[in-house]
Amino acid sequence: MHHTRRAFRFFKATGYVAALLTFTIESAMANSLLLLSPAQLAGSWTFYPQDDVTQACQVQLVADKTFSPEIKCLEVWLGQAPVSWSATPDGIFLMGKDGTDLVHMDRIEPGLYEAQLAGSKVLMMKRLPE
């Protein structure tokens, strides 16, 4: 009987720990996937190939989900210049003229995004200090 109570307490404590871990992990994931507003993402950004910062170009993301004219610099890497953008919980979609997605920039950390392009090229997107 004594072993039964001990086993019951053990399993009960294990259940509490499992519930706490589940809650903690879910909270952390929810916090890391917050959808940023257009106003939060608007501002100066630099785009560049991961292996060559000297090819960087500076672009403004505008709160109305458009870009500054300098966006044409992305044609080199994307085949066409994006005309609009849209925030996602895990990044930003850059979209073409017909509204289709050109590339998804994955959020690496606040103010830093990257996208895998054709081959092994990686396009970086980094917020510039205001």
| Bridge partner list, 10 | none
pLDDT in tens, 34-64: 888 999 999 999 999 998 999 999 999 999 9
Residue 125 has pLDDT above 60, yes or no: yes
pLDDT confidence of residue 24: 46
- With residue 2 as reference, give the H or E element that holds it: helix 2-32
Other C-beta atoms closer than 10 Å to the C-beta of 107 total: 20
59 Cβ partners below 8 Å, 6+ apart?
Answer: 44, 45, 46, 47, 67, 68, 70, 71, 73, 74
Please report, for the chain, the start and end positions of each structural domain, with discontinuous segments joined by +: 1-32, 38-127
pLDDT in tens, 60-102: 999 999 999 999 999 999 999 999 999 999 999 999 998 889 9
Q: Does 3.40.50.720 match the CATH number of domain 38-127?
A: no
